[in-house]
A and B are shown apart, each in its own frame.
Chain A
Amino acid sequence: MHTDRDRGTGAARGGDAKSKSGENPGWAQGLRQLYDSVVDEPLPDSFKDLLAKLDDKS
């Protein structure tokens, strides 16, 4: 499900910084959740419209 880290973001996704942190306080998971909760939101129409328009002008 939460595969955003691998989700088509190109080859340059390097090391996993989380494993380097060495510490994992209780809130660390919450921070990721905060981020992931937005990543997992359905994309608002305004973005689809904007992306669609990018084709027209070049």
Chain B
Amino acid sequence: MARNERTASQKADFKRELTEVVPHLRAFARGLCGRPDMADDLVQETLLKAWAAQERFEPGTSMRAWTFVILRNAYLTDMRRNRFRGEYDENVAERLLTQPAGQEEPIHLSDMHRALLTLPPERREALLLVGAGGFSYEEAATICGCAVGTIKSRVGRARAALNTMLEDGSIPQRAIGDDVAHRAILEELDEVAAGRGETSPTR
């Protein structure tokens, strides 16, 4: 197993960096799958996988980007196994609710989250990475294994959808609630997972 065994100090460095990105992994996971308990399960799975694969981590590169790839892959796998039904926990979202600072009309984070969960997964993750995680388009493209133009297009579409939903107040009551939408999402996920999801430059 240990072809390229790390020294104790390298392992310590790895663990420290891994520990530091846990809050970000939790935030990304929660944005992806909506349910805090499932999101945390996903992060735990990610941490174990990252630890097991630590020989493949290039010291000095971004631990956050590296672990996000692992988390994303675990999410896609679990999603296809139907573990996440895109369920939305209203109570938890209400607890998240805070007042955006200095904003004329506060947007409830619960609305924000619900709107986010209605987006197709690959647009949701693109927007999360760029709009919330602060990754550059280039970094997001690397994480998602697609072209920069694809990320830009996904973020653009996600933004347009959120503009419509949040500015016009037309958020669906239940995100991904019905079977039809869910099936469509799973089909889309298969495309994404197979590397066919919009990977050619759009338009």
Contacts and interface: CB of A to CB of B under 8 A. Distances in A.
Main secondary structure of the interface of B (DSSP, over half): helix
Contacts of A13: 62, 64, 134
A42 to B, nearest CB: 9
Interface in B20-67: 20-24, 26-28, 30-31, 40, 43-44, 47-48, 51, 60-65
Given A11-B62, A37-B98, A43-B22, A17 B140 contact: yes
A10 B63 contact: yes
A55 B11 CA distance: 9
B29 to A, nearest CB: 9
Interface in B103-134: 103-105, 107, 109, 112-113, 115-116, 127-128, 130-134
B19 interface: yes
Contacts, number: 150
Contact of A29 (B28, B103, B128, B167): B103
A2 B127 CA distance: 19
Interface string A24-58: 01111111111111111101101100110011001
